[in-house]
Amino acid sequence: MKYFCKTNQSTKQLAETILFLKAVSDENRLKIVCFLKSGEKCVCEIVKFLELPQNLVSHHLKILREKNIVKNRKEGLKVYYSINHKNIDKLIKFFNSLTGEC
């Protein structure tokens, strides 16, 4: 088993995958990811889109950032967020490994 075996070091990899999955398995965060699919957005745009308090959006963005699901860049006052495709590709590979051979 590539991603989890009771006795080897893949337990660490499993833990990482769980954190990643938890980060996207929240309604608001998944909405953010889907929203960013159409391109880079600043926080205030995400706030308007989700119709949530700004501090709550910042909190969710932090979680997505920490798990490297999104990346950000600062431009003047605004902070722009976008999807980190690399990490999502990684997740797809993981799920593929579940259906593939052991």
Partner DNA sequence: CTACTATATCAATATATATTGATATAGTAA
Partner DNA sequence: TTACTATATCAATATATATTGATATAGTAG
Question: Which positions touch DNA (CB under 7 A)?
Answer: 22, 26-29, 42-44, 47, 52-56, 58-63, 72, 74, 76-79
* Binding partner selected for residue 82 from its own copies, DNA, none, CB under the kind-specific 5 to 8 Å limit: none
With residue 42 as reference, give the H or E element that holds it. strand 41-42
**CA 90 remoteness from chain centre:** 11
**CA 93 remoteness from chain centre:** 15
Instruction: Mark the segment that binds its own copies (CB under 8 A) among 20-28, 52-60, 71-79.
Output: 20-28
CA gap 85, 33 in Å, rounded: 11
Binding-residue total with its own copies (CB under 8 A): 34
Instruction: Quote the DSSP letter at residue 85.
Output: H
Q: Report residue 64: phi and psi, to 5°.
A: -65, -35
CA gap 46, 57 in Å, rounded: 8
* Binding partner selected for residue 59 from its own copies, DNA, none, CB under the kind-specific 5 to 8 Å limit: DNA
Positions touching its own copies (CB under 8 A) are 1, 3-4, 6, 14-15, 17-18, 21-22, 24-27, 30-31, 33-35, 37-38, 49, 83, 85, 88-89, 91-92, 95-99, 102
